[in-house]
A and B are shown apart, each in its own frame.
Chain A
Amino acid sequence: QQQVKQSPQSLIVQKGGISIINCAYENTAFDYFPWYQQFPGKGPALLIAIRPDVSEKKEGRFTISFNKSAKQFSLHIMDSQPGDSATYFCAASMNTGFQKLVFGTGTRLLVSP
């Protein structure tokens, strides 16, 4: 119940294309869903996050789509660029206690020029 399942494990997208990464969860008590971007040798950086009271959140080229009934959420990267090549982690947490984050397994994205 504490797991967050992420797919695909790796993704290759042409420059200018759309990258889509999907996550699914079981625990209905989760109410905060962030996405983190990690470059090699760096710590994860918060990219964008959503609460379940909205179905979509967009920040620049990055969009989170959230389907509460299906317990799924996804990250869409529009107009993907080589600089977007990184590992992306979805996560989930409950808005209680000490804000523990449960991370997905990660998706290694490569955007080819």
Chain B
Amino acid sequence: SAVISQKPSRDICQRGTSLTIQCQVDSQVTMMFWYRQQPGQSLTLIATANQGSEATYESGFVIDKFPISRPNLTFSTLTVSNMSPEDSSIYLCSVPPFGTGSIYNEQFFGPGTRLTVL
């Protein structure tokens, strides 16, 4: 399985500010996914980040609020812009298995970034 790290692990931010979360993978992967896990809730896919193309956003998520960069096959960033207390969540990146992707659609998750917006 891939080794995935995220920075920061947690942060407390003021409303109206922005935070950029980094996701680093130890192997090259075509796709990276960003999820949000609100307190006590399930995981919701924000967007899929492909290297060399624009991210694909899920319904309810927009690029202006959650801009994503994917400069290479091992790294991605998610920015949470103009934050409000409702953005307080755990943000997770995930990747499929190294290589072409397992037929079993496995995903491996990073440890998450716990964001609190005051």
Contact = CB atoms under 8 A, between A and B. Distances in A.
Contacts, number: 57
B104 A44 contact: no
Contacts of A45: 109
Contacts of A103: 42-44
B31 A99 contact: yes
B109 A99 contact: no
A95 B96 CA distance: 12
B105 A99 contact: yes
B101 interface: yes
A80 interface: no
A65 B70 CA distance: 38
A50 B99 CA distance: 21
A95 B106 CA distance: 10
Interface string A80-91: 000000000100
Interface of A: 32, 34, 36, 41-46, 49, 51, 89, 93, 95, 98-101, 103-106
Interface of B: 1, 4, 31, 33, 41-45, 48, 56, 92, 94, 96, 101, 103-112, 114
| 5 pairs of A and B residues whose beta carbons are closest in the complex | A43-B109, A99-B105, A32-B105, A103-B42, A103-B43
